[in-house]
Chain A
Amino acid sequence: MYLEIKFKTCWLAIGMMLPGLAIFSSNALTSSELSGEIKKEKVMPSNYSVNVLDKNNKPISNVIVEFHLLEPVSRDNDKLAIMDQIEEQFAPHILAIEKGTLVNFPNSDNIKHHIYSFSQAKSFEQGLYEGKQAAPVKFDSAGIVDLGCNIHDWMLGYIYVADSHHFAKTDINGHVSLSIDNAIKSITVWHPRMQEKTKRLTIVPALNQRDLAFTLENKMLEDTEGYESLSIEVYP
């Protein structure tokens, strides 16, 4: 545990030493102003407030809310994000990144992992060995990437690849607020346990609508966060 904490601290230090590169915390994800470019034809920023509620009107945290621009802006992306392996789990469970971001998959465990994805947005596999850093993986298509480990079948993680940097995760109150410089076409929300008719829910806001609420129609899948709380030793 002591060494694992040292690993975590080490990654945190690397992130702090490389300003602008570490976007693995939810705070970093919400600050689109920090990473956005200054537009020549700048419009007044609009402050959007989004709430996401389940079928019983209870707030849902860790929902990815993405704002899709009316006129998408292409830009270079040299960001690096981290999806770590800690105690045989993906950390974080859900990582949201902008399209084109490189993702490092370090292994803070003292055992090997064999991670993979069959998702359309990015299909890949990578062996992660103790003491060896695998090459970062570029996620250059927007979409949702389901991650697994072929050795530890209970490991499950997600990478949400957004079209732009205008996205955020809901807090424990199911709330997101974001300032957007550009006109937006639509807002989508996604959570891995949603069971709606479409994988993502979409709202097209009215012209001056800034406060929006998503309420799920269907019950969410059972919360299996218990897979991450305790871990018996199993046959190696």
Chain B
Amino acid sequence: MNSISASIFLSLLIFGMPVSGASAVSGASAKLEASAKSQINHDVSGIIQVGLVASSNLVSFLNSGTGILRHDNNGLILQQGILQIDSDWTSAFSSKLVFNAYTDGDQHIGPSQIEIKYQPLLKSALKYKVRLGIFYPELSVENTDIGWLSPDTYQQSAINSWFGEELRIFGIEGSLFKSGRRTSTPWSWDAKLGLYKGNDPLGSVIAWRGFASHDRQSLFAERLEFAPYPSVVSVDGIDHPAWVEPFSELDSRVGAYLGLHLNYLRRTEFKYYRYDNLADPNVVNSQRLYAWRTKFHSFALNHQLNRRWQLKSQLLYGSTMMGDNFVHVDYFAGFLQSTAKLNSRNKVTFRLDVFDVAEQDDIPVDVNTSFGHALTFNYQYQFSKLWRIGTELHINKNTAFNRANLGLSPKQYERQILLIIDYRL
């Protein structure tokens, strides 16, 4: 946690000046008559999801198994407990705090996002905003609900399941954007640059466990477990613990990402992100956690065909490497999701996922190749603004060759049925 705190402090120290200085140089910004005496406002919102699960019995990665689903039991579950506090402090400054509660995993309650946003009122069509804190880059078109949840499915795509467990920004993001509506064109764009620290072990879990499908986001300073693969945990092997703290800062380097959003009216959104944590893969700490040099391209598309039918898709490809080519994989993942709103209360979603991790390193005994595909079918019924019930069937076939080192069959067929009731605060 010390490294995290140091990262936040450092980010504030380094990047705080341009943020505070921005108001001074924003000549186009003007003081407007505020109808209220104070701009301060706090909104508390949240969601609780509880329900029943029936799952195949391959032990979940959360319980140090090789299963790629969150649940490996049958019975009552807390799927999500999220509390979000959105605060407006001035006309330009706002903040967001997100706290999550879980009954599974290493930690059961804690924050997952903290951010301060500066977005001044500007007269011009070209505008900017700055985010500072610990947050997700906006590279997903899937996670648009409160607390980075998906509004359409409970278990998320392989891509965003990975981001939920291992990717978070401890830094600053600047956005320059232009609204097409203001300039009477159907096209709008938003360019983003993020600089951050504290995301050095990104890539660990997909290199060893492979991609997964779940909605269990990691909390700050949380340990993410995976199976004790002999080649990983052995002192004669890589000598790495069977867990990772994904938001650790190990090499003191600043990572970066570049994002470009392009929107056609409000019916199509395309997002491209180039992410590179610029980590030094030879840095290892006293816990034997390595910095992983992880970089990827992400392409996401969100398209509304009509008022009832929406398509979402995302493609990801990249690589991650740790040590002197000790572990080096190339990975690819993608999904195609179709959501149909049958009417104002009934919604059906179908998603197809594919994922692949290909070994590229010099230590063949540490097997990293894994691949698979998954089908997810979700139905939701909205009782009211506050209450919703839904059911979800997920099946996947996945292969991870390193399961053989644990005496398991590399090929696994996992199934899971959820029945969830939501209540929104």
Main secondary structure of the interface of B (DSSP, over half): loop
**Interface status of B151 (Cβ within 8 A of chain A):** yes
A231 in the interface (beta carbon within 8 A)? yes
Chain B residues 15-52 with CB under 8 Å of chain A are 30, 32-36, 39, 41, 43
Binds A, one of B65-73, B180-188, B364-372: B180-188
Give the nearest-CB partner of B268 in chain A.
Answer: A232
A105 to chain B, nearest CB (A): 9
A-contact 0/1 string along B357-378, CB 8 Å cutoff = 0000000000000000000000
Is B411 an interface residue when CB atoms closer than 8 A count as contact?
A: no
B186 touches A129 (CB 8 A): no
- Judge whether A3 is part of the interface by a CB distance below 8 angstroms: yes
Which residues on A sit within 8 Å (CB–CB) of B119?
150
Name the residue on B nearest A112 (C-beta): B43
Mark the stretch among B164-172, B194-202, B209-217, B300-308 that contacts chain A.
Answer: B300-308
Residues of the B chain whose Cβ atoms lie less than 8 Å from the Cβ of A124? 32-35
Is residue B397 within 8 Å, beta carbon to beta carbon, of the partner chain?
Answer: no
Given contacts A156-B181, A224-B180, contact A125 B265 (CB under 8 A): no
Given the interface pairs A126-B34, A130-B43, A153-B127, the reply to whether A232 lies near B304 with Cβ below 8 Å is yes
What is the interface of chain A mostly: helix, strand, loop, or mixed? Answer: loop
Is residue A179 within 8 Å, beta carbon to beta carbon, of the partner chain? no
The residues of B that contact A112 with a CB separation of less than 8 Å are 41, 43, 86, 88
**Residue contact A232 to B267, C-beta cutoff 8 Å:** yes
A232 touches B32 (CB 8 A): no
A232–B303 contact, CB under 8 A? yes
B138 touches A127 (CB 8 A): no
* A125 and B121 contacting across the interface, CB-CB below 8 Å: yes
Contacts of B127 in A (CB 8 A): 153
Q: How many residues of B contact A (CB 8 A)?
A: 48
Q: Indicate if the CB atoms of A156 and B303 lie closer than 8 Å.
A: no
Whether B184 and A226, one on each chain, are in contact in the complex, defined by CB atoms closer than 8 angstroms, is no
Assess the A117–B151 pair: CB atoms within 8 A. no
Please tell me which one of the listed residues A137, A153, A226 contacts residue B267 in the complex, with CB atoms under 8 A apart. A226
For the complex, give the distance between the alpha carbons of A65 and B55 in Å. 66
Report if A233 contacts B (CB, 8 A).
yes
For A89, the closest partner residue in chain B by CB is B266
Q: B101 at interface (Cβ–Cβ under 8 A)?
A: no
Partner of A222, one of B30, B32, B186, B304: B186
Chain B window 372-410, contacts with chain A (Cβ cutoff 8 Å), 1 for yes, 0 for no: 000000000000110000000000000000000000000
Per-residue CB contact flags for chain B residues 129-160 toward chain A (1 = under 8 Å, else 0) read: 00000000010110111100001000000000
A230 x B304 contact (CB < 8 A): yes
A76 CB, min distance to chain B CBs, angstroms: 22
Instruction: Verify if B177 is at the interface (C-beta below 8 Å from A).
Output: yes
Interface residues of B in 102-131 (CB under 8 A from A): 119, 121, 123, 127
Task: Please name all residues of chain A whose beta carbon is closer than 8 Å to the beta carbon of B303 when the two chains form the complex.
Answer: 232
Does chain A have a CB within 8 A of B95? no
Q: Cβ of B36 and Cβ of A118 under 8 Å apart? A: no
Please report the C-alpha to C-alpha distance between residue A129 and residue B38 in the assembled complex, in whole angstroms: 14
The answer for the CA separation of A116 and B123 in the assembled complex, in Å, is 10
Query: What separation, in Å, do the CA atoms of A231 and B268 have in the docked complex?
Result: 9
Would you call A135 and B144 a contact (CB within 8 A)? no
> How many Å lie between the Cα of A123 and that of B307 in the bound state?
35
Q: A154 — which chain B residues lie within 8 A by C-beta?
A: 179-181, 188, 266
Decide yes or no whether B3 CB sits under 8 A from chain A.
no
B64: chain A residues within 8 A (beta carbon): none
Contact (Cβ within 8 A) A118 B304: no
The interface residues of chain A lying within 8 Å CB-to-CB of B30 are 118, 123
Q: Provided the pairs A153-B182, A154-B181 are in contact, do residues A125 and B267 lie with their beta carbons within 8 angstroms?
A: no
Distance between Cα atoms of A156 and B345 in the complex (Å) = 29
Closest to A195 in B: B184
The contact sample of 6 A-B pairs, CB cut-off 8 A, is A2-B344, A116-B32, A124-B33, A226-B186, A226-B267, A236-B145
